[in-house]
Structure 1
Amino acid sequence: MMIRNAAPWRVAAAVGSLMLALVLAAPVAARQQAQPEAVHSAEGITEYVLDNGMRVVLFPDSSKPVTTVNVTYLVGSRHENYGETGMAHLLEHLVFKGTPTHGDIPGGMRQRGIRYNGTTSLDRTNYFASFATSPDTLEWLLHMEADRMVNSHISREDLDSEMTVVRNEMELGENEPVMALVQRILGSAYTWHNYSNLPIGARSDVENVPIERLQAFYRTWYQPDNAVLVVAGDFDPVATLQIVADSFGAIPRPERTLPVSYTVEPPQDGERSVTVRRVGKTPYLGIAYHVPASRHPDSSALAVLQQLLVHTPTGRLHRALVEQGKATGAFPVDLSLDQPGLMMLIVEAPEGSDLDALEAQLVSLLEDTAAEPFTEDEVAEARQRLLTGFEVAMRDPNAIGIALTEAISQGDWRLLLLGRDRVEQVTADDVNRVAAAYLQHSNRTTGRFIPTDAPERVEIPAAPDAATLLEDYQGREAMAAGEAFDPSPANIDARTAVSTFDNAAELALLAKSTRGEAVQVRIHLYLGDEDSLGGRATESQLVPAMLTRGTEGLDRAAISRRLTELKSTLSTGGSTNVASLVATTDRENLPALLELAATILRRPTFPESEFEQLRTQMLTGIRSAMTEPQAVAASAMNRYFDQWPEGHPYRSLSFEEQIEAIQALELEDLRAFHRDFYSTANAAIAIVGDVDAGAVQAQVDELFGDWSAPVAFTRIASPHFTRPAVREQLETPDKANAMLLAALPAPVGQQHEDYPALVLGNQILGGGTKSRLYDRVRQREGLSYGVGSGFSASALDESGTFTIFAIAAPENMTAVEAAIAEEIALLLEEGIGEDELREAVDGMLESRRTSRANDSELIGQLANNLYLDKTMADAAKFEDDLRAQTPESVLAALRRHLRPADISWFLAGDFAAAEGKEPTRVEE
């Protein structure tokens, strides 16, 4: 439940995302159950209903060897009663604690290489799992989910051990200025409805909830007639239905009747306001208007309206506020809900802004749209952006499997398809009508209250129920699926063609049939050398961000419109001596996308107005980070281990030095950097997907095969570097959460004989959710919401680093640090068990297989292979090296390189305020 100031676009996902052994435990039936009958089908997706009322949605597609399973319970924070806020979220944590049959659910997931998570929102709780295609894993997972549906412990002991973890997650939200603002806006906008409460709940409720109430809540809502199972991706539908029938189908329909939510929020009768005052650097404005439930026909027009307002760079708020320097960003908070919700927008402002003037202009832009109605051209462009996003998502059945759960929480999975159909029909008249209907001052919640003698009320119409709405809905023809692809290293090498062009650029091309004829593109440009890049590191960071803000013949808005026309996405990024371009498209639009990519990379225009926007945004982000524990600890650690002299391209700068460097930068500095360094000489280009290989190779050669720069690329070595161990504790006042980071350099690169053993040793210590640090610090002692370790090593230098991280309340940090140190000592003293090692190896191998099965991850491996002069055979050899490790070899490598006395520790938090507080640790 985190929202980061430097990345406000994560808000929607963050808010959207937060948002006893039982007497009648249901054992799995010994005999096979009858398969359920289909009740709805559309576009390759089919719904079935079990006799116990559970719904099952299957979306088979074998084009990508990945399977995704979602179990959605139709219970969220709006279903909680007085004194029970946060209960749905608490249950999300506790059902991972196990059942009498499945005692270690995280361990079982990790052993099988399953990527999993649980999320709680206002309307639903969802459990997600994704893994490389495996019928055995799917069967295990479905039986486990059926088991924990009714047989989870939900014990006092588990609640006690998890309590501090949940409090820690709550403190993460309290650290975030935008999250705090969103919470207050919801609390002010809703007088009676439970949408006023975010899923994290009130601290007093979470800390004092009786276990009996939590168990009753679990028995009420975690039942088959209140759950929807979605299985998407690569699986056998017939076999899967039989497993579902044998596992979930064996659970009897409960005798209880589900509680009915009948509270209706009355029309708002005047402007409402809220103010939050906390330590920080960046001011924000939030504004919200009541709107209908997501099923209502107006929701599609409202979605287009939101695009027209906040899209970057064409939205009206961006053009009027950001481009004019009055704000540094404008973004939405997604609250598409089962019952009437909110259209909420957040504006980020520069430090010292006149918020009165900014709010007045914001209100005028939103509530005076009649003065400048939206045109058909504007609406068509916004509409197409939404449709392109849907089409891109439909190319990945696993992504759609997740999206279906949100539609399910709103009444029916088919609402996702109906919403797309409705968006296609939205006109300018529709958008102007909903803007006039809902964006009214009496329906507004901001930071102000203004009385009026003539109150106005916006009546929010009721949405039709999903069954009536979808009674005759058929959907469209299902999107064409791709081939069943074997993600083994040998097959990937056999299917990948590598070409080298005249300027030494290389192309790795993997042609295969994909769902929706999807294509992934990645380009890595390698820039300059140690001498030429000296003193120019700041330019290297800003140039990639400027590439898509204007290029020959296209300004930023025109680039955005062109990508929408091509049903494609494209982003640029980079570091000191590497620039990258990442794009997704389809077979038909790939040639045009490559043309656009070449124009963006080779002929950027660096507009002055965009440069000033970017400079302001970066300065705002740095100033925001200066008070955040995570950023403060990371900066201290990076600065301490900085081995580079002043002016070196790898030199780590303090916050103040970063600000000074950005303020001193001139636009011509960026243009000169691009002229001097950018080229595709020695570039690594990777393309994966449904392509005409010969045509693509010829086009890439034509676009990039002749591009060189005045300064050739030479790799900058990063040798091993050590410093004496230190412990730094830094104060970040008024922050409820603290951060711990620790580091230990090691003279080990990826070619070192100890590298595979150290990778496995780290995995066992803290490399996942079933590791020693996680089990001790989070699961058993409940001190931290997040804790773990990492080991990274250079592919070309004998240089590596162990890292450790933990987030916790400041008063818990002493206990967290001690627990981490003790676990490291125990690992080095007692060693590793054979079973523990095998679980780590199996989990890593399955995770790597899953990565190869996802084209968006595989393409990065192919691009890196070009640079490193490797093939997937090297990946296969590394996996063989992992399999060859023994408990003795891993322990010996750890003892050689993981030296506790040499670890440096960096902690940041409000330790002064925490002094004297009792630790919230739960003792065993």
Structure 2
Amino acid sequence: MKFKRLTLAVTAGLFGLSASIYANQATSASPVISANTNVQSQAVRLDFQKFQLDNGLEVIFHLDSSDPVVAVTLAAHVGSSREKRGRTGFAHLFEHLLFLESENLGKGGLDKMSARIGGSGANGSTSRDVTNYMQTVPNDALEKMIWAEADKLGYFINTVTDPVLAKEKEVVKNEKRQRVDNRPYGHVFDVVSTNLYPASHPYSWLPIGSLEDLQAATLQDVKEFYARWYVPNNTTLVISGDFDPKQARQWVEKYFNDIPKGTEVPAQVKREVKLGKTKKLYHEDKFATVPQLTQVWPTPAKFHPDTYVLDILIKLLVDSKDAPLYNELVEKQKLTSDVALFDYRSELASELFLMVTAFDGVDLDTVHNAINQGFERFEKEQFTDADIDRIKAGLETEFYQNLSSVVGKGINLADYNLLADDPEMINKEIEFIRQVTKEDVWRVYNQYIKDKHYISASFVPQGQLPLAVEGAEKANITEEKVVMGQEASFDTSKQQSYAKTPSSFDRSVEPPYGKMPVVPVPDVVESQLSNGMRVSSIYTDEVPLVEFKIRIDGGMLFDARGKSGTANLLADMLNRGTASKKPAELEKAIKQLGSKIDIYATEQSITVNGSALARNFDATIALVSEMLLQPRWDEQEFALAKSAVQSQLQQRLSNPQAIAEQKMKEIIYPVGHPLSHSLTGDEQSVQNITLADIQAFHREKIAPQLANIHVAGAVQHEQIVKSLAKLQKSWPKSALAAPKVALPKMPQHSKVYFYDMPGAKQSTLYIAQPALLATNSDFYRAQVMNYILGGGSFASRLTQQLREGKGYTYGIGSGFDASQHASLFIINTSVRTNVTYEALALVKEIVEQYSSTFTPADLTTTQEYYLKSNARRFETLSAKIGVLTNMAMLDLPKDYVQQRAKQVQALTVPEVQKLAQQHIHPDKLVYVVVGDAQTQLAGLSKLGLGEVVKLN
């Protein structure tokens, strides 16, 4: 076997892949894309080795020794397209089931093991075509992961019993409610799928399936599905990262060879569709507050060469202020604040989605007409080769970003292998992007969009049907009725007995750890400039890319009373052109470099996030300097920015999570406190803000002595400082001090507040109390203390009892949302409506008992996770930026990760119990519930926390 480090020979003519085009390849029957003679061919290689076991399992190894971690991806070529009508949602159900238990891992399965070995948290995904299981772990746990993945594939199905199936059905149904039934526009994809595809097509239903089909599924159905599709010859295993390939192959053969080959799985046949007419549908959406129009055209399946052309076409249409669709709808007609256009690609067929969420009260016929006008402008105004080259430069940067983690490489290699039957596609696709020409773009536009039939879906707020597109017919949408007293009954706590699958060796013995990985300590270089800016950097040349962050302390904390939202609007305006560049010109200058620059406000900062090719870092920082110090202050752009915020505020009225968070702020913080407001402000405060207010904020509240600049990537510190020379000279130090805010008082006792959302399928539970600041010497240990309560995902009691034990929720967690200025301890989840009281009562009980029931076993699990997960601490550029940010915000030393490890090692059970008693106060928690008051409000009095306060 021969392995090489990833080698990337790059020039300005090299183009990359966006996340939306991971798996596309020409087929022999496809048209040939004409060559672009202006682009020189460049070498790009990601080396791997592939082999196959006798049972058909295909295995791919990719070596990356930059960090002591390894990612393991197990991907099955089964998604919703392999399901039968009437038994939909099975592929997604299996994504859940395979984490729960297997014969030799025992109850808790991979989730439980992940906590012990310092994994990233075992995760999965289900698409129409593939189900992925992936995790990144320290490389000393590789044999354990191979053992565990083999156990899932060959030694799992006997552990699925009727109670296990009944419970997981409830979890999946909660996920569907959260993603689809209980949110605005949640049914859009269902409306599109059922009307674009004939009933016989497997894409006519969504991967999450229907609640009726899930409820009807029997244990025998589940076992038959598993036996058919979860077999080695329908599965790919990818191992990517820092490991010994010879040893890894021996382990793969040992643990997977015993699993028998399944029935042959035939290749999927492309089933692209053509519409005979345009179909217009509407839905009165009880959760929507503003109208949304979606138009969808059928497009070719993955691997068709036209998909690469579509990536260029999409960006030409919407990905700049000058782009005709964006410009027409946003800048010119002011109907919306954004336009979304994307190609949803799958193995058998694909769809091009155009989604416009309009401003309040806008007639969707007006939006439809504006879309047509945008297409007319596209045809009339044309575009140039330079426009295409600019787009390809941006794709180059995205390509490198997609290679920044070992799990990203693993997922993509598996996808190419399963769907293209060729993992080498990871090295071929750039050529397809590189060859796209103007002629290809016009051909594809005419072939798939111009004058072609499409699906139109008008989603309008209830009672606002006149806003729907003229001629639209009512969409057929089945909405679940959640009935009190009809909860499923099951008990998964009992030990289940089952026959064990024969094996040639004893699989019940968990493999040992390998050699302990050496956790790298990155070389952090720091300096302070003459104007007070602090600069820190970590050099790495793994890819020719740089990421950076400039964090300016203050943000919303500096908003004037009655004008909350000022910092947010200022940050938006800093993105909208400079004194010498109109907004479109600034955008073009950034994209020509293949860079990204985004300025945004948080509650406690103004932040600049960016990335660039290393060779373009100087030029990118020059643009950042111009944006920060020489804003354009355009009245028209300011009006657009305010309109966008006002639309956001309108949409937040239908977002249960946003409502819960805002109401909690108003309860915890006193009137007038800056943190009692939303970052975006409210309707009245935004109305009050003038452009002069924005200019004054910029002049008085943006200061270099409050700025920290963090850089990670292939640029040395000396060059970084040199690149900042102009910013340093043009941005003088001022007398402005860091903001100071009063800490909120701890509530005297717990209280329950209820916000009514009539007809809600779920209740959002947001529980909080004031907590210790991130600068407190106890803060990190308090975070560690919370791991078993709610910070450890499937290792936590909240998840184990509310999701795994009761099936009340899809997810729940707890944690300290803290900075140097403010902090809350928060528990957050959404549960099905008819168990609102039961869920709250259980959360209350778990929190009350936590400190007294924390055990030595809990401490061991916590310590193993925190100590072993340090191997993953510095893997990506974003992770390195995170380390630098922590150091600056919290005044931490360069070796703080190692020092924190010593704190974790020294923890005792009594210390954890004391930390819980000091920093979590069950009798002072504030409970905010957003749900259906008619069915749930009265029952909450049983919590014993006094009369429930109605918030609306």
One fold, TM greater than 0.5? Answer: yes
> Residues 758-769 of structure 1: matches in 2 within 5 Å?
758-769=782-793
Instruction: Give the match for residue 738 of structure 1.
Output: 763
Instruction: Give the match for residue 777 of structure 1.
Output: 802
Deviations 1:442-467 (A, max 9, x none): 5311146979xxxxxxxxxxxxxxxx
Deviations 1:806-860 (A, max 9, x none): 211111111111111122233244x222121111122123334423333312223
Q: Secondary structure at the match of 1:584?
A: strand
- Over 3 Å counting, the alpha-carbon distance change for 1:400 and 1:548 in structure 2 is farther
> Residues 657-736 of structure 1: matches in 2 within 5 Å?
658-704=682-728, 707-708=731-732, 710=734, 712-719=736-743, 721-724=745-748, 725-736=750-761
Matched, 1:120 2:153: no
> Residues 18-57 of structure 1: matches in 2 within 5 Å?
43-57=46-60
Matched, 1:358 2:396: no
The 8 Å contact of residues 359 and 647 in structure 2, kept in 1 or not, is answered as yes
Deviations 1:93-126 (A, max 9, x none): 0001111101122110112221231111111111
Deviations 1:636-668 (A, max 9, x none): 11100013x52x54342599x611111222223
> Residues 712-861 of structure 1: matches in 2 within 5 Å?
712-719=736-743, 721-724=745-748, 725-746=750-771, 750-753=775-778, 755-769=779-793, 770-795=795-820, 800-829=823-852, 831-861=853-883
- Which of 198, 207, 212 is the aligned partner of 1:204? 212
- Over 3 Å counting, the alpha-carbon distance change for 1:236 and 1:396 in structure 2 is same
- Which of 913, 924, 931 is the aligned partner of 1:891? 913
| Cα shift at 1:872 | 2.9
Q: Secondary structure at the match of 1:63?
A: coil
Instruction: Give the match for residue 637 of structure 1.
Output: 664
The 8 Å contact of residues 396 and 515 in structure 1, kept in 2 or not, is answered as no
- How far, CA to CA, are the matches of 1:787 and 1:901 in structure 2? 20
Instruction: Give the match for residue 475 of structure 2.
Output: none
Q: Secondary structure at the match of 1:207?
A: helix
> Residues 438-453 of structure 1: matches in 2 within 5 Å?
438-447=448-457
The unaligned stretches of length 5 or more in structure 2 are 1-17, 24-43, 458-468, 473-516, 940-952
Deviations 1:276-298 (A, max 9, x none): 21122121111111111121121
The 8 Å contact of residues 763 and 840 in structure 1, kept in 2 or not, is answered as yes
Instruction: Give the match for residue 187 of structure 1.
Output: 194
Matched, 1:111 2:116: yes
- Which of 144, 151, 154 is the aligned partner of 1:147? 151
- How far, CA to CA, are the matches of 1:270 and 1:449 in structure 2? 16
Instruction: Give the match for residue 546 of structure 1.
Output: 573
- How far, CA to CA, are the matches of 2:20 and 2:914 in structure 1? 42
Q: Secondary structure at the match of 1:48?
A: strand
Q: Secondary structure at the match of 1:785?
A: strand
- Over 3 Å counting, the alpha-carbon distance change for 1:293 and 1:584 in structure 2 is same
Instruction: Give the match for residue 303 of structure 2.
Output: 295
- How far, CA to CA, are the matches of 1:642 and 1:774 in structure 2? 29
The amino acid of 2:862's aligned partner reads A
The 8 Å contact of residues 528 and 713 in structure 1, kept in 2 or not, is answered as no
- How far, CA to CA, are the matches of 2:359 and 2:819 in structure 1? 39
> Residues 382-531 of structure 1: matches in 2 within 5 Å?
382-411=391-420, 412-447=422-457, 488=519, 491-492=521-522, 495-512=523-540, 514-527=541-554
Instruction: Give the match for residue 264 of structure 2.
Output: 257
The amino acid of 1:90's aligned partner reads L
The amino acid of 1:174's aligned partner reads D
Q: Secondary structure at the match of 1:712?
A: coil
- Over 3 Å counting, the alpha-carbon distance change for 1:262 and 1:714 in structure 2 is closer
The 8 Å contact of residues 837 and 936 in structure 2, kept in 1 or not, is answered as no
The 8 Å contact of residues 870 and 897 in structure 2, kept in 1 or not, is answered as no
Deviations 1:250-287 (A, max 9, x none): 42322x12256558355321111221211221211111
Deviations 1:875-923 (A, max 9, x none): 4333322221111221133234433222111100124256899xxxxxx
| Cα shift at 1:366 | 4.1
- How far, CA to CA, are the matches of 1:698 and 1:266 in structure 2? 56
Q: Secondary structure at the match of 1:554?
A: coil
Deviates more, 1:281-290 or 1:694-703: 694-703
The amino acid of 2:850's aligned partner reads L
Instruction: Give the match for residue 184 of structure 2.
Output: 177
Deviates more, 1:298-307 or 1:863-872: 863-872
The 8 Å contact of residues 67 and 234 in structure 1, kept in 2 or not, is answered as yes
- How far, CA to CA, are the matches of 1:488 and 1:672 in structure 2? 47
- Over 3 Å counting, the alpha-carbon distance change for 1:540 and 1:369 in structure 2 is closer
The 8 Å contact of residues 549 and 709 in structure 2, kept in 1 or not, is answered as yes
- How far, CA to CA, are the matches of 2:870 and 2:643 in structure 1? 40
The 8 Å contact of residues 740 and 805 in structure 1, kept in 2 or not, is answered as yes
- How far, CA to CA, are the matches of 1:604 and 1:226 in structure 2? 56
The 8 Å contact of residues 744 and 803 in structure 1, kept in 2 or not, is answered as yes
| Identity percentage of aligned residues | 25
- Over 3 Å counting, the alpha-carbon distance change for 1:621 and 1:288 in structure 2 is same
- Which of 862, 879, 887 is the aligned partner of 1:865? 887
Matched, 1:81 2:84: yes
- How far, CA to CA, are the matches of 2:452 and 2:187 in structure 1? 23
Q: Secondary structure at the match of 2:128?
A: coil
Deviations 1:200-249 (A, max 9, x none): 10110011111111111011111111111222233333332332222234
- How far, CA to CA, are the matches of 1:610 and 1:441 in structure 2? 33
| Cα shift at 1:735 | 2.9
Instruction: Give the match for residue 70 of structure 1.
Output: 73
| Cα shift at 1:729 | 1.3
The amino acid of 1:185's aligned partner reads V
Deviations 1:695-754 (A, max 9, x none): 32233244325623655122314435212321011111243222001112245764345x
The 8 Å contact of residues 679 and 709 in structure 1, kept in 2 or not, is answered as yes
Deviations 1:502-558 (A, max 9, x none): 12221112223x222322212112349978855554211111222222123333333
The unaligned stretches of length 5 or more in structure 1 are 1-11, 18-40, 452-485, 918-924
Q: Secondary structure at the match of 1:290?
A: strand
The amino acid of 2:129's aligned partner reads D
Q: Secondary structure at the match of 1:507?
A: strand
The amino acid of 2:169's aligned partner reads M
The 8 Å contact of residues 366 and 439 in structure 1, kept in 2 or not, is answered as no
The 8 Å contact of residues 525 and 678 in structure 1, kept in 2 or not, is answered as yes
The 8 Å contact of residues 720 and 747 in structure 1, kept in 2 or not, is answered as no
Instruction: Give the match for residue 509 of structure 2.
Output: none
- How far, CA to CA, are the matches of 2:698 and 2:396 in structure 1? 35
- How far, CA to CA, are the matches of 1:810 and 1:250 in structure 2? 46
- How far, CA to CA, are the matches of 1:312 and 1:232 in structure 2? 36
Matched, 1:306 2:309: no
| Cα shift at 1:627 | 2.0
Instruction: Give the match for residue 27 of structure 1.
Output: none
| Cα shift at 1:58 | 2.4
| Cα shift at 1:683 | 1.9
The amino acid of 1:678's aligned partner reads I
- How far, CA to CA, are the matches of 2:403 and 2:777 in structure 1? 43
TM-score between the two structures when normalised by the length of structure 2 = 0.82
